[in-house]
Amino acid sequence: MNSWQHKNNNLKSNCMKVTINDVAKLAGVSMKTVSRVINKEPSVRKKTYDVVMEAVNELNYQPNLAARNLAGTSSFTVGLVYDNPNAYYVIDMQNGVLSRCKDEGYELVIHPCNYADDNMEQDIKTMIKRSRLAGLVLTPPLSEQSSITNMLDELNIHYVRVLSGRPTDEDQDTCIYVNDYKAAYEITSHLLTLGHKNIGFICGDKEHKSTSERLEGYKAALEDHNSQANSDFIYDGKYSFESGVEGAKALLADNNKLAITAILGGNDEMAAGALFASRLMGIQIPEQLSITGFENSPFSRQTWPKLTTAHQENDVISQHAARLLFTKTRGARNQDKEIITTFTPSIVVRDSSGPKL
C-alpha cells in the first residue's frame, strides 16, 4: 500500500466530516494552497492544482460556500437576471449558467424582474447587496438598458450581457452576441427560394432588440431578392402564443388582397399560434401557407406539422456568458477552449415550410 492510499484509508476511517485540513494533509500541501485551488486562483501551478483536486475527489470534499463568502471579501455567488415570458428560454439560460457555476465552485441566484416596474433598478441593487454577488449575467431586455449597466458600474459589480446584435469593438469583453439579424435574413431567404414573395412577419415585443434585429434581417433578405417589404405584411405583436394567433388572423383576414403565402413568426410560440389560427381558418400547412419560427424551442416540435425554425443554443450561449463572467470575477481556469462571444442561430428545415404552389 503506497503512502497516498495509507493516508486516504486513515481519513476514510474517521467518521467526522472531511475538512480542508484533511485535503491539505492528503495532498501534502498547506491549507492556504488548497484554498487557492478551490477558489480557482489562476496563479496556482497545474501540477499543484492536479494534486489538490485528486485529494478533493478522493475525499469527496465539499467546500462550504456560505462560509467562504463570510470568510473574506471574495464572494462565490453570481446572479442571473431576466424578464422573459418564454419559460423554455429561461430554463435553458439557467441550466447553462448553473453548469458553469458547478465547475467553478460558485452558487447561482436566479432573479426574475419586471421590466415595466419603476422600481426595477432598485430591486436589482437590493438583490446584489443582500446576496453579496460577485457578478451578474444579464439577459434581454435588461441587458440592453444603459441605466442598468451604469448602475452596476457605480456599484463596481462585474457583469456580462447577452445581447441581440452584431459585434462591434465596444464592450466585447462584457458581451455575448446573438446574431438574430443574420438568422432572420437566412430564414426569410429560405422562404423566398421556395417561391414565396408575399411573406408576413409577426414581430415580438418592441422593447427587445431581437425584435428589431429580426425585422431588419427579414427586410434585408426581401430587398436582396428584389422584393420590397410591405408594411401591411408586418404585425406588431408580443412574444407569446396568443399574439401569434392574433397576428395570423390579422394578416390573413383579408388575404384575397394581401395574398400572403408565408409567415415568419418572431419566435416559435408566435409561429405555433399562427399555425393554430391558420388551421382554424381552414388553411392547409404548408400547401397553402408556409410558417416558420425562431429559436427551436419545444414549441417548434410540438406542432403539426413541426416548424421550420432557427436553432438558438440558449444553454450554450449562457454557458459562455458565465465563463466570460468568471474570467472577470476570479480569473477562472478556462483551459478547454476559447470563449465564443458571437452566436448565429442556424436554420432547421421541417415540414411547415414548402414551395409556393
Average pLDDT over residues 255-259: 65
Q: What's 180-312's CATH class?
A: alpha beta
**In the chain, where the domains are located:** 3-63, 70-178+315-343, 180-312
At the fourth CATH level, the homologous superfamily of domain 70-178+315-343 is: Response regulator (3.40.50.2300)
Decide if pLDDT at 273 tops 70. Answer: yes
Question: Predicted confidence band at 334 (pLDDT cuts at 50, 70, 90)?
Answer: very low
Would you state the pLDDT for residue 41? 66
Give CA separation, 77 vs 66, 67, 113, 150, 234, in Å. 9, 12, 18, 21, 43
134 touches 329 (CB < 8 A): yes
What pLDDT digit, counting tens, does each position of 154-190 carry?
888 899 999 999 876 555 668 999 999 999 999 999 9
Provide the whole-model pTM: 0.78
Cβ atoms within 10 Å of 320's Cβ, excluding its own = 21
Indicate if 180-312 has the same CATH topology as 70-178+315-343: yes
Cα angle vertex 32, ends 28, 34, to 5°? 55
Question: Predicted confidence band at 249 (pLDDT cuts at 50, 70, 90)?
Answer: very high
Percent of residues, the chain, with pLDDT higher than 90: 54
Of the listed ranges 21-25, 74-78, 85-89, 303-307, the least confidently predicted one is 74-78
Topology given in CATH for the domain delimited by 3-63: 434 Repressor (Amino-terminal Domain) (1.10.260)
Maximum distance among all alpha carbons in the chain? 86
Would you state the pLDDT for residue 43? 65
